[in-house]
Amino acid sequence: MTKQLTPLNPSAAPATWLGVMGGGQLGRMFAHAAQQMGFKVAVLEPALDCPASHAADQLHSADYTDVDALAKLAAQCVAVTTEFENVSAKSLAFLAERTFVAPSSSCVSIAQDRMAEKRFFIECATTSGVFPASHKEINSDADVDAVSDDLLPGILKTVRMGYDGKGQVRVKTRAELHNAYANMNGVACVLEKMLPLAYEISVLAARGADGRAVVYPIAENVHRDGILFTTTVPGPNISKESAEKAQAATLAVIEQLGYVGVLCIEFFVLTDGSLVVNEMAPRPHNSGHYTIDACVTSQFAQQARAMARMPLGDVRQHSPAAMLNILGDIWFEGKSDEAREPAWDKVLALPGANLHLYGKDTARRARKMGHITFVAATLEEAQANLRKACDILGIAP
């Protein structure tokens, strides 16, 4: 039974501060949501001109392991969270000795290590009913030689770090696997068996300090070059049975973790309809951005509620939604290196368009610059307007 903790109501005088480790777009959107509820937000981030710096009430510009900065953040804030999983788990543990931290360092450390994550998913499978893909840890050329033939073709991934398609390579043969591992420069890796994938879904959930958990509608995702391209909610292809199974599995995982905060788990739906768990993110997630415009409680407001030990919000989706990720590529025409502003006026003329730009001053190809969520009375209308936006912005639909 989770210990009941006193809710931390927002106050103006003295201000009730919430802290965030990381100053990216997730920290920026968290700040907006928390401030709307009456909290003030402090961010710890090395970069001065980060997306969250434009929204936060205070920026502590320091390394994530800076003990003095961490101590100041803990003294200032009634609770601290992280906006990305690769912040030092030791830093979160340091903060937890001085203030409330959600999610905990132990939860974050599992998500930082793909092998620890897979072991945890296997432990959860007795209650979740869902397993990860067949895999093998690779730490040497001898491990490559020992790989079972049925794991090929596969995907070689670094055990730590790596996101948006970075730190992973598809391999068809043992020779390609040897070459890919050599190019990883000796870091620990894991080889995952390639599966007959029909599509990918993600399940967003939140759990409060009181042990109550909620789960959002199923999101169906499309990736390009390893980066999220679109999210459609409700997922148009997933069956009711599979959706309920994925949601139940997510709730089983979040309960076994003893998690507090927002958690996203990605699943593969295979061509035979079965589910395979892929990975989890111990934070609000790119595929959950649609909740800002299409749900009663956004994922960022939910994170603030969980941190402050307040009741969790209603996860009901009031409008079908189709979300388009915006990468820096659309600032450039063809192979030109000269950036120009996209036609936002034409995009915003489309019904149900909600534009979210992240305040990044420099557009670069493959860099996440923002997203657009289309809401409508029907999913078909939302998807049609997303396709129109792709046409305006020069994105292949």
Low-confidence ranges of the chain (pLDDT < 50): 1-3
* pLDDT at site 1: 37
Domain shared by 378 and 246, yes or no = yes
Q: Does the annotation place 58 within a ligand binding site?
A: no
Could you give phi then psi for residue 134, rounded to 5 degrees? -60, 140
Contact between residue 397 and residue 387 where contact means Cβ atoms under 8 Å apart: yes
Q: Does the annotation place 167 within a ligand binding site?
A: yes
Domain shared by 252 and 361, yes or no = yes
Q: Does the annotation place 164 within a ligand binding site?
A: yes
Q: Does the annotation place 273 within a ligand binding site?
A: no
Domain shared by 289 and 359, yes or no = yes
* pLDDT at site 164: 57
pTM: 0.94
Q: Does the annotation place 162 within a ligand binding site?
A: yes
Task: Choose the final residue of a domain: 176, 193, 210.
Answer: 193
pLDDT digits (tens, 9 = 90+) for 28-78: 999 999 999 999 999 999 999 999 999 999 999 999 999 999 999 999 999
* pLDDT at site 397: 78
The closest alpha carbon to 369, from 351, 395, 388, belongs to: 395
Q: Does the annotation place 90 within a ligand binding site?
A: no
Q: Does some domain include residue 24?
A: yes
Q: Does the annotation place 157 within a ligand binding site?
A: yes
* pLDDT at site 166: 67
* pLDDT at site 203: 98
Domain shared by 243 and 376, yes or no = yes
| b/e code 41-71 from CB counts within 10 Å (16+ = b) | bbbbbeeeebbbbebbebbbbbebebeebbe
Range of the domain at 139: 134-193
Q: Does the annotation place 223 within a ligand binding site?
A: yes
Q: Does the annotation place 380 within a ligand binding site?
A: no
Task: Choose the final residue of a domain: 46, 81, 112.
Answer: 112
CATH value at residue 146: 3.30.1490.20
* pLDDT at site 21: 98
Q: Does some domain include residue 295?
A: yes
Domain shared by 236 and 372, yes or no = yes
With 0-12 / 13-18 / 19 or more C-beta atoms within 10 angstroms meaning exposed / middle / buried, residue 362 is exposed
Q: Does some domain include residue 359?
A: yes
Domain shared by 240 and 348, yes or no = yes
CATH value at residue 241: 3.30.470.20
Q: Does the annotation place 166 within a ligand binding site?
A: yes
Domain shared by 33 and 170, yes or no = no
The closest alpha carbon to 137, from 110, 116, 162, belongs to: 116
Peptide bond into 311 cis (omega under 30): no
Domain shared by 240 and 170, yes or no = no
Give the contacts of 391 (CB within 8 A, at least 6 positions apart).
397
Distance CA 240, CA 272 (A): 15
Contact between residue 311 and residue 305 where contact means Cβ atoms under 8 Å apart: yes
Distances (CA, A) of 20 to 52, 85, 102, 305: 9, 12, 10, 14
Q: Does some domain include residue 153?
A: yes
Domain count, the chain: 3
Q: Does the annotation place 279 within a ligand binding site?
A: yes
Q: Does the annotation place 192 within a ligand binding site?
A: yes
If one counts every other C-beta atom within 10 angstroms of the C-beta of residue 324, the result is: 25
